[in-house]
Structure 1
Amino acid sequence: MSTDNRTHDRTHDRAHDRDTGTEPAWLLVTRREVVSRITDKSFMIGTVLMVVMLVGFIGFSAWQEERTTEVTLGATPDSVAMAAAIEEAAPDVDDKVAVTVVELDDRAAAETALREDEVDAWLHPVDDGWELTSESSEQESLTEVASAVVRQQVLSENAANVGTSVEDLEAGSTVSTDFLRGDAEKAAVAQAVGFVFVFLFYFAALIFGMQLASSVIEEKQSRIVEIIAAAIPLRQLLAGKVLGNTALAMIQLLIYIAVGLVGLSFTSYKSYVPALSGPTAWFICFFLAGFIALACLWAVAGSLASRTEDLQATSTPLTMLMLVMFFGGVSLDGRSQVIASYIPPVSAVVMPKRILAGGVEWWEPLLALGLLAVFAVVTVWVGERLYRRALLQTGGRVTLRQAWSSAE
C-alpha cells in the first residue's frame, strides 16, 4: 500500500469521525453486528439450547454418580453359597451396586426366570470356574462385582487348602499408579475440561466464522457494501465486523463457562472448581487472541467470494485449519503437545490444556500468549489489506494473489 493511499485513508477516517460526531465508524458497525445478532431468534435459541444441553449433561452425570444400581442374581442350589457371598461383599467392591439373590430350583427355572426378567443374571459353576448367564446383554456392574468377589473367595479356599493365606499368595503382586503431577482423579478432570475448552473454541470459531463470512458475501453480492464503502472506510467496516462477532462469541463463551462451573459445583468434583478458575481465565485470554485472528481470516474468505456458492472454496483452508486445531488439541501429548503449545493458532487450545494438567512454568503461558498476540496482529494486518482489495471486486472469485497485488 502506498504512502499516499495510507494518508488518504487516515484523512478519510478522521473526516468521517467528524461528520458522525465523536463515535467512530467501527463502533457503529460493532453495535450493529451485536444488536442484530443478539436479537435474532436463531442466536437466542441456539444459546439457550446449548445451555440446556450443558445443564442436562451435568445433571445426568450427577444423577448417575449418586444412583445405586440394583441387580437381581439368580442362584441354583449349587451356587447359593457363592451368590450369598457376592450379595454380602458387593458394597465393599462397589458402593453403587446392590445385589439381591433369588434362589432357583434348577437350570430350567433359572432360564425361565431370565426370559421373564425375574432375575438379571444366573450364577452357576462350570468346569473352569463360575459363569454369569444373562438373557441377552451383559450386566457389567454385576459382572465386575461378581468377578472380584469370586476371585477372593476362590483364592481364600485354595490358600487354606495349601496351608497359607491370600495375603501371602498376593504379596508383591500389586501394581499401583502414580503421577509426577497431581493424581489420577485430577488428571481425569483436567482431560475432560481440556476437551471442553478445545470443543468450545472449535465450535465458536467455526459457527461465528461462517456467519461472518456469509454476511460479507451477502453485502457484497447485493452491492450494499458499495454504499457502505462510500460512507465509511473499509478498514473500519472490517474492524466493526470482527469486534462485533468477537463480542458475541465471548458472551456465549462466558455463559457456557459460568453454567459449566456452577453445574460442576453440584457434582462430586466440586472441590476442583477453585483450581479450575485460573486455567479458565487463561483459556479466555487465549480464546480472545485466537478468535480475533481467525475472525479476520473468515472475513477475508467472505471478501474473496462473489457468490454464496464460492464460500466453500474460499473457506476450505480455514475449515482445514479448524480441524487441525481440534484434533491437535484433543490428541497431542508429550513433547509434541509442548511444542504445539507455542505455535499459533494451535496454541490457543493446546496451552490451556497444559495449564490444566499442571507443571507449567509461570512464563510459558505468557510466552505462548505473546506469540499468539503477535500472530493475531500480523493476521489482522494481512487480512485487512486482502479484505479491502477484494471486497469491491465482483467479477468472480478472487484469488489471494489477485487480492494482494490489486490496486485499491
Structure 2
Amino acid sequence: MSGSRSGAGEFRAPRFTDSVALIAGREITVRLRSKAFLISTGVLMLAVLASVVLGSMFGGQSEPAKVAVVGSAAEAVAGNEQLEAVPVDDEAAGEALLRDGEVEAVILPEASDPAGVTVVALDQQPTGVVQALSLRPAVELLEPAAVDPMLAYFIAFGFGIVFFMSAITFGTTIAQSVVEEKQTRIIEILLSTVSARELLTGKVIGNSVLAFGQILAIAGLAILGLVLTGQRLLLGALGASVVWFVVFFAIGFIMIAALYAATAAMVSRAEDIGSVTSPVMMLVMIPYFLVVFFFDDPAVLAIMSYVPFSAPVGMPVRIFLGQVEWWEPLVSLLILVATTVVALAIGDRIYRNSLLRTGSRVKLAEALRG
C-alpha cells in the first residue's frame, strides 16, 4: 500500500479511512469472485422464496374472488371477506363480465333455492366461490390468535434462517481469511503498511457491506414474492418487522464479525478454526433453534428480543405478532448497540495481541492481557 505525495514532495502514510476503504474494497471484490459465496447466496434466496410460497399456501392470504351480483344477491356476499362483489344491473351484464374474465362467477337471487341465490359460472364449477357462500356455524374462540399459527411459524423460520445463514457464511469467511493471512505470513507484510486496527476494521466493514447487501436483496425478493403470490395483506403486516430486522441485522452482524475475526486470530492453522470459533457459532445457532421451536411462546420470544445475539431474530418476530410496545424495539436496539461497542473493543484487543503470534493456539486470557 503506497502513501500519497504531499505538497513538499514527500510521501505521507495513508489515512485511517483510506486504508480501511482499500481493505474493505479488497474483501468485497474477493468475495464476489467466490463461487462458494455466490452458491450460498443463491441457496439462501431459494429458501426465502420457498418460505414465501409456503406461507401463501398455508396462510390463506390470497385476494378475494370477484363475483358479479344482481339485485338482492348482494346481501349474500355482503361482509364475506373471501368474495369481492361487483354490482351489475341484470344477469346479461353479469354474464358479459364473466365471459371477459373480469369475474369468476355471477350470483343471482333465487327464492326457490335454500341458499337464496344461484351461482352462474362459465365452464367449470367455481369451487372457491361456492365454499365462500356455504353456511358456516359461528365459532367463538376463548383465546383468539392474532396471526395464523402456521403463518407465524414460516415467518419465524424465515427470519431465523436468514440471520443464521448470513452470519455463519460471512463469519466463517472472515475467520478463514484471518487464518490464511497468518498461515502464509502475508500478515507480516500487511502490518508493515497498515495497523492491525485498520486491517480488522476493513475486514469487518467489507463483509458487513456484503452481508447487508445480501439481506436487502433477500428482502426485495421476499417482497416481490409476496406481491406475485397475492399476499398483499401479509406484505402490509410484515413491512415493519422486515425494516426492524434489517436494522438489527446490520448492527448485530458487525458484533459477530468482530468476534469471528478476533477468535480466528488466536490460531495459525485452518484446521483449528472450528475449535476457536465454535462459541461464536453457538451464539448464532441458538437464536435460530429457539425461534423455530418457541415461535409461539411469548415468554421465550420476549427474552430473545432483549438478548443481543438473539434480538435480530426475536424482536422482528414479536413485532410481526403484535406483541411489543412502541418503545421496546428502541430499548432492545440500544442494548444491541452498547453490546456491539463492547464486542468491538474486546475483539480489537484480542486481534491485535494474537495476530503475529504463530505456532500453538493463543489462550484467551493471554490475548486479552497482551
TM-score by length of 2: 0.70
Q: CA deviation at 1:61?
A: 7.0
List runs of 5+ in structure 2 lacking aligned partners.
Answer: 1-10, 61-136
1:209 to 171, 188, 208: 171
The 8 Å contact of residues 181 and 358 in structure 1, kept in 2 or not, is answered as no
Among 319, 323, 328, which residue is 1:359 paired with?
323
Q: Which secondary structure state, in structure 1, belongs to the residue aligned with residue 228 of structure 2? A: coil
1:290-309 deviation per Cα after TM superposition (whole angstroms, max 9, x unaligned): 11101101001210111111
Q: Which runs of 5+ in 1 are unaligned?
A: 1-16, 67-170
Aligned-partner Cα distance in 2 for 1:59–1:224: 47
Moved more, 322-331 or 350-359: 322-331
For 2:217 and 2:180, locate their aligned partners in 1 and report how far apart those are by CA, in whole Å.
29
- Aligned residue for 2:309? 345
Distance of aligned partners of 1:281 and 1:57 in 2 relative to their CA distance in 1, 3 Å threshold: closer
Return the alpha-carbon distance in structure 2 between the equivalents of residues 203 and 385 of structure 1. Answer: 27
Match of 1:219 in 2: 181
Change (3 A) 1:370 1:181: farther
Answer whether contact 1:213 1:299 (CA < 8 A) is retained: yes
Write the letter of the residue equivalent to 1:224.
Answer: I
- Quick one: which of 316, 333, 337 aligns to 1:373? 337
Kindly indicate whether the alpha-carbon contact (under 8 Å) linking 2:20 and 2:199 is maintained by their aligned counterparts in 1.
yes
What's the CA shift string for 1:209-238, capped at 9, x where partnerless? 111101100000110001101100100100
Q: Does 1:240 align with 2:205?
A: no
Instruction: Provide closer, same or farther for how the CA distance between residues 230 and 192 of structure 1 changes in structure 2, counting only shifts above 3 A.
Output: same
Q: What one-letter code is carried by the residue in structure 1 that aligns with 2:24?
A: T
What displacement does 1:195 show? 1.7
Letter in 2 for 1:250: F
**3-state SS of paired residue (1:342):** coil
Describe the superposition over 1:113-162 as per-residue Cα deviations: whole angstroms up to 9, x where unpaired. Answer: xxxxxxxxxxxxxxxxxxxxxxxxxxxxxxxxxxxxxxxxxxxxxxxxxx
Q: 1:226 to 1:356 in 2, by over 3 A?
A: same
Cα displacement (A) at 1:399:
1.0
Which residue is equivalent to 1:334?
Answer: 298
**Contact between 2:318 and 2:324, CA under 8 Å: does it hold in 1?**
yes
For residues 43 and 319 of structure 1, what CA distance do their matches in structure 2 show? Answer: 18
SS of the aligned residue for 2:357 comes to: coil
Alpha-carbon distance in structure 1 between the residues aligned to 2:289 and 2:59 = 29
Give yes or no for contact 1:265–1:271 (8 Å, CA) kept in 2.
no
Indicate yes or no: 2:37 matched with 1:43: yes
| Partner-residue secondary structure (3-state), 1:397 | coil
Name the structure 1 match of 2:22.
28
Whether the 8 Å CA contact 1:296–1:383 is kept in 2: the answer is yes
Equivalent AA in structure 2 for residue 206 of structure 1: I
* Letter matched to residue 354 of structure 2: A
Is the 2:51–2:154 Cα contact (8 Å) retained in structure 1? no
CA distance in 2, matches of 1:323, 1:397: 24
Distance 1:326 1:57 in 2: 15
Q: Where in structure 2 are the equivalents of 1:230-379 lying within 5 Å?
A: 230-332=192-294, 333-379=297-343
Judge which range, 299-308 or 266-275, deviates more: 266-275
Q: Which moved further from structure 2: 310-319 or 216-225?
A: 310-319
Give CA deviations for 1:71-99 in whole Å, capped at 9, x if unaligned: xxxxxxxxxxxxxxxxxxxxxxxxxxxxx
Residues in 2 aligned to 1:45 and 1:381: alpha-carbon distance in whole angstroms: 33
Maintained 8 Å contact 1:344/1:375 = yes
Mapped partners of 2:209, 2:189: distance in 1? 25
2:322 maps to a residue whose letter is G
Distance 2:236 2:58 in 1: 23
- Aligned-pair distance for 1:313? 1.3
Which deviations, in whole Å up to 9, do the C-alpha atoms of 1:289-333 show, x marking residues without a partner?
111101101001210111111112111211222222222232342
Deviation sequence 1:337-391 (CA, Å, 0-9, x none): 2123112122221111111101311110000010001000000001000000001
RMSD: 3.2
Q: Give the distance between the partners of 1:319 and 1:18, measured in 2 at CA.
A: 41
Letter in 2 for 1:289: I
Q: CA deviation at 1:175?
A: 6.2
TM-score (ref. length: structure 1): 0.64
Number of equivalenced pairs: 288
Q: Tell me which amino acid in the other structure corresponds to 1:38.
A: L
- Output the CA distance in 2 between the equivalents of 1:252 and 1:360: 27
- How far apart, CA to CA, are the structure 2 residues paired with 1:403 and 1:213? 16
CA drift of 1:336 comes to 3.0
User: In 2, are the aligned partners of 1:181 and 1:359 still within 8 Å (CA)?
Assistant: no
**Code of the aligned partner of 2:352:** R
> Which is helix-richer, 1 or 2?
1
Identical-pair percentage: 35
Residue 93 of structure 1 corresponds to which residue in structure 2? none
Letter in 2 for 1:41: K
Paired AA for residue 294 in structure 1: I
Aligned mates of 2:338, 2:16 — CA distance in 1:
30
